[in-house]
């Protein structure tokens, strides 16, 4: 009856640092084979526990700027004095293959994606409270206090941008938040603007076959309907 777009869905997930976006996305990816998480490039230092090519591609500032000049990024932004950017090539390939792609990026980057791909899906993840956010940020112990305060200040500003997104998910219960994100992605697939084509059915043929079916008594069909057929 309908043919839906084969193209994968581009999903942008933002939220203040410490809201738990990465943990949510990790779980969503594990449960859904058809969703791919884009690995960004950054000029920030690698943190303890992170891996090259898994969390980020770690570049020097100069390397990053060279790639900007070479049009390597779909979008990039400066965040807490470091560059972050989304490599373009693999994303286009994945979307063309019908695979959904998640970008976990900050707000300036998300705004650029909105301009480039207005039909992308924008989800904002919020922590349950500001107090909990500060607790989560300081609990990481991967950064000094000054950096934590800087991130907390940025997070505060970011929260005001929530209304620019399509959906908001409060992460007070991890499993519940994961389930909400999955449901949003599923619902998005059913949007009518993902219909590429309405397929013309062979209506007359179907009615004819139905009339020929001997299980039914055709004498009960009114003359008017017969004429229409
Ligand atoms: P973190 O240093 O905590 O890993 O990331 C800092 C912020 O940069 C987070 O909000 C994260 O989502 C965002 N970020 C990560 N990759 C990208 C990217 O490719 N582009 C943009 N614009 N932001 C990114």
What is the DSSP track for 80-94?
Answer: TTEEEEEESHHHHHH
The b-or-e profile of 80-92 (16+ CB within 10 A means b, else e) is eeebbbbbeeebe
Least confident segment among 68-77, 117-126, 168-177, 193-202: 193-202
Task: Return mean pLDDT, the chain.
Answer: 92
Mutate to test the pocket of ligand 1, among 79, 103, 156 (most ligand atoms within 8 A of CB): 79
Residue with structure tokens 């607790």? 135
* pLDDT of res. 228: 66
For 139-175, how does the pLDDT look when each residue is reduced to its tens digit (9 = 90+)? Answer: 866 678 888 888 889 888 889 999 999 999 999 999 9
Cβ of residue 17 lying under 6 Å from some atom of ligand 1? yes
Residues 40 and 120 in one domain: yes
Residues 170 and 143 in one domain: yes
Least confident segment among 65-69, 131-135, 183-187, 213-217: 213-217
Residues 205 and 186 in one domain: no
Cβ of residue 11 lying under 6 Å from some atom of ligand 1? no
Banded pLDDT at 67 (limits 50, 70, 90): very high
Residues 34 and 75 in one domain: yes
* pLDDT of res. 141: 66
Residues 109 and 6 in one domain: yes
Banded pLDDT at 77 (limits 50, 70, 90): very high
Q: How far is the CA of 2 from the centre of ligand 1 (A)?
A: 38
For 30-55, how does the pLDDT look when each residue is reduced to its tens digit (9 = 90+)? Answer: 999 999 999 999 999 999 999 999 99
Least confident segment among 28-32, 70-74, 189-193: 189-193
* pLDDT of res. 215: 77
Q: How far is the CA of 3 from the centre of ligand 1 (A)?
A: 36
What is the DSSP track for 49-70?
Answer: T--BTTTEEE--HHHHHHHHHT
Residues 164 and 202 in one domain: no
Residues 215 and 175 in one domain: no
* Domain total in the chain: 2
* pLDDT of res. 18: 82
Cβ of residue 43 lying under 6 Å from some atom of ligand 1? no
Range of the structural domain that residue 15 is part of:
2-196
The atom number, within ligand 1, closest to the CA of 158 reads 10
Q: How far is residue 11 from each of residues 20, 122, 165, 169, measured CA to CA in Å?
A: 17, 6, 11, 14
Residues 216 and 163 in one domain: no
Tell me, what CATH number does 83's domain have? 3.40.50.300
Residues 168 and 206 in one domain: no
Residues 83 and 110 in one domain: yes
- Of all protein residues, the one whose alpha carbon is nearest to atom 2 of ligand 1 is 44
CA–CA separation, 210 and 218 (whole Å): 10
The atom number, within ligand 1, closest to the CA of 22 reads 12
Residues 97 and 190 in one domain: yes
Per-residue pLDDT, averaged over 63-78, amounts to 98
Cβ of residue 105 lying under 6 Å from some atom of ligand 1? yes
Cβ of residue 20 lying under 6 Å from some atom of ligand 1? no
Residue with structure tokens 């084509």? 197
* pLDDT of res. 229: 62
Residues 118 and 217 in one domain: no
* pLDDT of res. 198: 87
Q: How far is the CA of 116 from the centre of ligand 1 (A)?
A: 18
């Amino acid at each position: 009856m309908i043919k839906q777009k084969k193209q994968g869905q581009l999903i942008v997930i933002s939220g203040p640092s410490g809201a738990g976006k990465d943990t949510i996305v990790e779980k969503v990816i594990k449960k859904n084979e058809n969703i791919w998480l884009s690995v960004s490039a950054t000029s920030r230092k690698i943190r303890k526990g992170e891996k090259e090519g898994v969390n980020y591609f770690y570049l020097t500032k100069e390397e990053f700027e060279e790639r900007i000049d070479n049009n390597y990024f779909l979008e990039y932004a400066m965040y807490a004095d470091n560059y972050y950017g989304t490599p373009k090539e693999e994303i286009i390939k994945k979307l063309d293959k019908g695979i959904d792609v998640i970008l976990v990026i900050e707000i300036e980057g998300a705004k650029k994606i909105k301009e480039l791909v207005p039909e992308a899906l924008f989800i904002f993840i919020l922590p349950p409270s500001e107090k909990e956010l500060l607790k989560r940020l300081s609990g990481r112990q991967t950064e000094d206090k000054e950096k934590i305060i800087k991130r907390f200040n940025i997070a505060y500003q970011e929260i005001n941008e929530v209304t620019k997104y399509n959906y908001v998910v409060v992460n007070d219960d991890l499993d519940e938040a994961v389930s909400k994100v999955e449901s949003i992605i599923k619902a998005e697939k059913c949007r009518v603007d993902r219909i590429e084509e309405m397929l013309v059915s062979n209506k007359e043929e179907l009615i004819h076959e139905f009339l020929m079916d001997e299980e039914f008594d055709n004498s009960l069909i009114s003359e008017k309907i017969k004429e229409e057929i």
